[in-house]
Structure 1
Amino acid sequence: MPEEPKQHQETDAPKTNPHLKNKPKHPKRRVGLWTYIISIVVALGVGVGGTYWFIGRAVSQQLSSMQQTNSAMKKIQSVYETISDNYYQPVNANKLANGAINGMVNSLGDKFSEYMDKSETESLNDTIDSSFSGIGAQVQKSGSYLQIISPIAGTPAKKAGLKPKDVIKAVNGKSVAGKTLTEAVNMMRGKVGTRVNLTIQRGTSTFNVTLKRAKIPVTTVDYKLVGGSQKIGYITVSTFSTNTAKEFKTALKALDKKGAKKLVIDMRGNPGGLMTAALKMASYFIKDGKTIMQVQARDGSAEKYVAGKKYDGGFKETKPTTVLIDGGSASAAEIFSAALHQSAGVKLVGSQSYGKGTVQTVTSFSDKTEMKITVAKWLTPNGTWINKKGLTPDVKAAEPSYASLTIVSKLSDLQADKVNENVKTFQKYLQALGYFKGTANGYFGTTTTTAVKAYQKHAKLTATGKVDKKTLAKVETELATKISDNDKAYDAAMKLIKNTK
């Protein structure tokens, strides 16, 4: 079973008591816990009337709780021993222990509390650290293969001389043809220090190159100057990771040097992350002493987190600002947005946010597994709990329905007479582009074939009615362009900020 854990978390938590050492082998007299508690009750009860009843009741409840816990632990131990001793095949002790832990965590009925194995733990830590182990190249689908958009400076890809427009045809001798973008990227990822061989096509020549995987940092903040003479700084934040607050501050300073007069901060699709990052970033915009958020413990007591040098280091941003949110804005993204809205008077634009109003801590075990559990509620500055409700924008501007469509994960699903979810998604792609007039039912029939032919003719492809890699890539690219061109929430935010003084 996992050893006693070490905890790393966003908020302080009680530490486990150390085991007692140097106990005498033969103690002269041992006073039992029951005797000790009963003695206290009697001592306090004599001559104090009602106090006796109150304290006696409290201790009785505590004893009952202890008895229930002791009984439950004995039952778990009994089940464990019964399975270990009597199951008709040998049982792995760690597997049994992990199963018991998973069962206890799952019984909470809280989707944000979970027990994670080694790979899940690594994935969570990569997200928190805003990094991953790989070669360090931004890639995109290009026909059957992957094309490098740009190698990241200082990474194995850059050091190996890989260039933009290089095509990755195979990884460790296995072709990436037919793989989804995610599948192909996962083929290149692996443990730090391990090697991966890539087959690269550059122009008319093909060659192999071996790279040593390394830890690759991921940028979580992007920014640019928009709005023409209005000079509006547009910042997108994809997640709240270890370096996000630092990247955000860098973006604010860079936009200031470029002459930005106002700001639009896009939190759409941001699933959250570290509470500490949200506190720092919110503090940049809020006057010292004003509340950023509150954290409410199980006993109902609430701790206020207020803006100040502790979080912002004295750096403040005072430009007129607007924040974009949507149904994908959750957790730390909501903490940041609510703080600016309620404590800095910033208007929110977009659609209702996700509504995750809880705080989790992560406990690390010696076998490199982790357990994440919910330990508290977080409240907005004015004390509102937005859990399962979300933040309501001041200006509602929903994105078109096709903006939230998922990707087609398997090209081979898109064939005549097949019925599946990928066909349904592709039908919705064609609907959004104006080529599919029927009902998106997931059946690749004559209506779908006709729509595919019409699109292929429009895209100057051979009108076969069959969905090949070129057709899918063209559809995806055109749909992405349409989504960008019809971003009503972005347009509403720009209109609002332009009229803000």
Structure 2
Amino acid sequence: MKFAGLLRNTALVAIGAVLATTTTVVAQGDARGDPEFSKVFAVYQRIKTSYVEPVDDEVLTRGMIDGMLTALDPHSGYLDGSDLQRLTTMIDGNYSGLGLSVVMEDGAVKVIAPFKGSPADKQGIKAGDFITHLDGQLIYGGDLDDAVAQMRGEEGTSIQLTIFRPGREEPFEVDVTRGVVELEPVKYSLSAGNIGVITVNEFSADVGEDVFRAWNAIKEEATGRVGGLVLDLRSNPGGSLDEAVALSDLFLDKGRIVSQRGRARGETLLYDAETVFRGDMAEDVPLIVLIDAGSASASEIVAGALQDHRRALVMGERSFGKGSVQSLLPLGRDAALKLTTARYFTPKGKSVQEGGIKPDIAVPQISDPDFLLRQKYRTRESDLRGHLINELGVKDEEMEIDKVDDPRFRLTAEQLEEAGIEDFQLHYALETLRRTTKSSVALRK
């Protein structure tokens, strides 16, 4: 078994990052004859002649571009200069900063998830937190890129974050020392009972090969046959579409992995198993995929593919629900348009836009003392202003099922801590695999 040549499409599916493609889109039309464009030109002229202070054309042009993209969806945007450089650096999986995936929500910077092992994660920043001040300066109502730029910085320097955490009466301040955020996209461990755990933190370059190496390392360390495997995709905001396909292909020996459907020519693509990796590398090994509300895009592609093919049991919480693909379209040498160009669909034709991936077994993270409060104010794609609507329709009541109380999960965080359980979701997955046989629910081929 070995990897075939890497796929050439470089679209990304992530909350906060995309990768450049070679796509070129040319919009044609006579703006002078369009009454809507006449309005834009009239506003431009009125500002130039009547505004209280002189305004540069560059400022007005950037404002028009930003306004057009804001009217589309939360993931489209215009990048130039330092913004474009930061994106390129993040794609490389190595940058100096705090290690946060954030979005702008109603003028506030909201944390989708801290990257595991990052400075922000070590200081206790959690998904759902709002950052209101940086070094005492109010950032509410400002620009997301400006806030991100302030949080980036040289390794060893520190910044003070003022955090509002839903459920707490008062905001609090946290000093975070910036570090080189080497995302370590793949980590692995071997648990009791010869149960392997592979954690994928984000889908940067070579994640598929990294997971393959991690699996081989687990087999070497195991004292006998590996009894089961947990693929942990929690708080993974996404990344490369190619790597999502490669990772899925590791566990599938046939069938569709994901389809991408767009409006422009060349944006409708199909991805099948057996194109990156031959066979199922962990054949006959029971597999559980862990997801939560921070699992987005590329993570949802993997979870959806393995769930639809009944290769894995998906466990945890309903995922983020970002079912769109962004492409980076060059605009000259130092600018680019980050544009939503397609939706993706699971093998059974399901769009995860808005609704996300529903786990086969819902397992709350009750080892987190703030779990109930964070669940109440948790952000998903459907909460973002201007998000794309799932054309297949997702009823609100279907998503509310996640909040129904389950009598199996009534232990408190304090009780779990006394029992030595720090991560209840992972503990539950491991215990499930230890009770699993080849004919049971965790291996349903």
Is the TM-score greater than 0.5?
yes
Cα RMSD, aligned residues only: 4.2
Alignment-derived partner of residue 312 in structure 2: 346
Q: Which letter does structure 1 place at the counterpart of 2:70? A: N
Aligned mate of 2:234, from 242, 249, 268: 268
Task: Tell me how far 1:231 sits from its aligned partner.
Answer: 0.5
| 2:431 alignment partner, SS class | helix
Instruction: Give the TM-score, by structure 2 length.
Output: 0.61
Would the aligned equivalents of 1:130 and 1:243 in 2 still touch at CA under 8 Å?
no
Whose radius of gyration is greater, 1 or 2?
A: 1
Q: Kindly provide the amino acid, as one letter, of the partner of residue 83 in structure 1.
A: I
Moved more, 325-334 or 483-492: 483-492
Structure 2 letter corresponding to 1:223: Y
- Give the structure 1 partner of residue 87 of structure 2: 124
Is this contact kept in 2: 1:395–1:492, CA < 8 A? Answer: no
CA shift, 1:486, in A, is 5.0
How far apart are residue 336 of structure 1 and its match? 0.4
Contact 2:159 2:175 in 1 (8 A): no
* Secondary structure at the counterpart of residue 238 of structure 2: coil
2:433 corresponds to? 497
Q: Which has the higher contact order (CA 8 A, sep 6+)?
A: 2
| 1:179/1:330 CA distance change after superposition, 3 Å | closer
Q: Which amino acid aligns with 2:356?
A: G
Which residue of the partner structure matches residue 417 of structure 1? Answer: none
Match of 2:291 in 1: 325
Alpha-carbon distance change, 126 to 480 in structure 1, aligned in 2, over 3 angstroms: farther
Structure 1 residue aligned with 2:177: 185
Partner secondary structure for residue 280 of structure 1: helix
Selected match of 2:77 from 85, 89, 114:
114
> Is 1:98 aligned to residue 62 of structure 2?
yes
Tell me the equivalent position of 1:445.
none
Q: Please report how far the alpha carbon of residue 277 of structure 1 lies from its aligned counterpart in structure 2 after TM superposition.
A: 0.9
Give CA deviations for 1:300-322 in whole Å, capped at 9, x if unaligned: 9964210123x236773323211
How far residue 276 of structure 1 moved from its aligned partner, in angstroms, is 1.1
Aligned: 1:297 with 2:262: yes
Q: CA deviation at 1:237?
A: 1.1
Matched, 1:83 2:47: yes
| Number of aligned residue pairs | 321
Unpaired stretches in structure 1, ≥5 consecutive residues: 1-6, 19-61, 144-170, 190-215, 407-431, 435-478
List alignment gaps of at least 5 residues for structure 2: 1-8, 13-19, 99-116, 124-152, 163-172, 375-411, 439-445
- The Cα offsets for residues 2-33 of structure 1, whole Å up to 9 and x where unpaired, read as xxxxx974597752469xxxxxxxxxxxxxxx
Residue 473 of structure 1: aligned partner? none
Paired with 2:204 and 2:247, the residues of 1 have a C-alpha distance of 12
Alignment of 1:398-417 (within 5 A): 398-400=364-366, 402=369, 404=371
- Structure-2 change in CA distance of 1:142 and 1:113 (3 Å): closer
Measured after TM superposition, the shift of residue 330 of structure 1 is 1.2
Contact persistence 2:188–2:198 (CA under 8 A)? yes
The residue type equivalent to 1:107 in the other structure is A
Match of 1:285 among 245, 251, 256: 251
CA gap of 1:488–1:103, structure 2 versus 1, over 3 A, is: same
Aligned to 1:223: 188
Match of 1:58 in 2: none
How many angstroms apart in 2 are the aligned matches of 1:403 and 1:74? 53
Letter matched to residue 424 of structure 2: K
Confirm or deny: 8 A CA contact 1:232 1:262 kept in the other structure.
yes
Pairwise CA distance, 1:98? 1.1
Aligned runs of 1:75-474 on 2, under 5 Å?
75-108=39-72, 110-133=73-96, 184-186=176-178, 217-226=182-191, 228=192, 230-259=193-222, 260-288=226-254, 290-298=255-263, 303-309=269-275, 311-312=276-277, 316-318=281-283, 319-366=285-332, 368-400=334-366, 402=369, 404=371
Q: Alpha-carbon deviation of 1:485?
A: 1.7
Identity, % of aligned positions: 27
> Can you list the C-alpha shifts for 1:392-417, whole angstroms capped at 9, x where unaligned?
211221112635578xxxxxxxxxxx
